[in-house]
Amino acid sequence: MTATAERTPVRVLVAIPAYDEAPTIEAVVRSVRGAVPHFDLIVVNDGSRDATGAALARAGVTTATHLCNLGYGRALQTAIRFARRTGYDALITFDADGQHRASDLVPLYDAFRAGDYDLLIGSRFVERRDYRTEPAVRRVGMHLFSVLIAVLTGKRVYDTSSGMKVIGRRVFETLVARPFVDFHAEAIVYLIESGYRVGEFPIAVAAREHGASMYTPLSVFKYPLKVAFLIVVGALEARRTRRARA
Amino acid sequence: MHSATVVIVDAVGMLLIAWLVQLVRRDRLYVGYAVIFVLVIGAGMALLTVPGALAPLEWIATVVQRAPALVGLALAFVVLMLIYILSQVTLLSNRLTMLTQELAIREAMSSRQVHDDSTR
């Protein structure tokens, strides 16, 4: 379990939250194992109703099964709790829908170690710095969250909803202690405001071929309000915690 | 409406919003519920504060029925009870979440042990 970037042995866990991803999960597990055989892998089966559980059993991968669907954020939290309890140095989150490229894992992790980050986001937009390729509604949301984070923290983050991130051990405790709903913009703003080192690294994503996005038509209205509220609460809470620590 | 009344209602609204934020911050109220309350309270405050914004609603109220003051109090009680009940639901939900996560982690630890043993 030695990372390619460093001589020091480190334990890295790749975590894949999966909800109804039976058509893709085996291929995703295979691709991750092929790309980073020296990293450990866990799939959090978030109460899937399809054959995801059977596919995971066939793949012989370490699995944490939620008895009911708790949502993306809670699934990631389960993985972070597991990583913390079993002594991992870093955790890489990876989507189960086949959109992420396993070949990005090593460069992303190498950049994480080189930059001594606490959170490194695999970013679809940090190179181009615009959202032209995204659908209009999502474009507006991404721009809004990015600007809101910049206003509150002074740091611009271009991809606030990427599912591919490297999370360092230093922030495990922080990330399981707070009730993060989706580990995207709210967690990013909280960590920046708490004084942790957050960055972005360019990655590419493929178009989704199977399954449905977790964003429903109703969530187009609900999600931005919820996240904007959480960003503000997160920033306030981080400042308060920082003041208390000082 | 008298400006003093508007100020009092706005102040109560702000206090309620601050309370909701505090509940979310302490993981005592799910953010999805809080957002709905904040939106409704914010809209109510805006209607009262912006001159003329309440006119259409006042007209409807006059046409339908002039609501007694007691109805306002009853509504306030219902809102407070709703926040309280939803906060209890959130607490229960958080406990179930922790239990579910713990069971999943234990399963992962034992399944990892099995994989380690089989590869030895």
pLDDT at A210: 62
How much is the pLDDT for A133?
A: 78
Distance in Å, alpha carbon of B115 to nearest chain A alpha carbon: 8
Question: Is the CB of residue A29 less than 8 Å from the CB of residue A41?
Answer: yes
Most confident of A63-72, A141-150, A206-215, B10-19: A63-72
Mean pLDDT, chain A, as a whole number? Answer: 88
Judged against a pLDDT cut of 80, whether residue B73 lies above it is answered with no
Give the model's pLDDT for residue A58: 94
Contact call for A68 and B100, based on CB within 8 A: yes
What's the gap between Cα A94 and its chain centre?
A: 7
Report the 10 Å Cβ neighbour count for B51: 9
Q: In this structure, is the dihedral angle defined by the CA atoms of residues A4, A9, A10 and A14, taken in order, positive or negative?
A: positive
Give the best-scoring range by mean pLDDT among A50-54, A180-184, B50-54, B60-64. A50-54
Residue of A nearest to B22 (CA): A233
Average pLDDT over residues A86-110: 95
What residues of B are in contact with residue A230 (Cβ under 8 Å)?
24, 31
* Angle, alpha carbons B89-A73-A21 (nearest 5°): 115
Helix intervals (H) in chain A: 22-35, 52-59, 72-85, 105-114, 136-153, 172-177, 185-193, 219-245
Determine whether the interchain pair B27/A60 forms a contact, defined as Cβ–Cβ distance below 8 Å: no
Side-chain-side CA neighbours of A85 within 13 Å: the count stands at: 14
Q: Facing residues of A168 across strands?
A: A90
Determine contact, residues B104/A64, Cβ cutoff 8 Å. Answer: yes
For residue range A176-224, list pLDDT tens digits in order. 888 777 788 889 999 999 999 999 999 988 876 666 565 566 666 777 8
* Range with top average pLDDT, B26-35, B61-70, B107-116: B26-35
Is the confidence at residue A174, as pLDDT, over 80? yes
CB atoms A70 and B31 under 8 Å: no
Shortest Cα distance, chain A CAs vs residue B71, angstroms: 30
CA distance B13 to B27: 21
**Residue ranges of B 13-72 with Cβ closer than 8 A to chain A:** 21, 24-25, 27, 31-32, 34-35, 38-39
Q: Which tens digit of pLDDT belongs to each residue from B12-56? A: 999 999 999 888 888 888 888 888 888 888 888 888 888 777 777
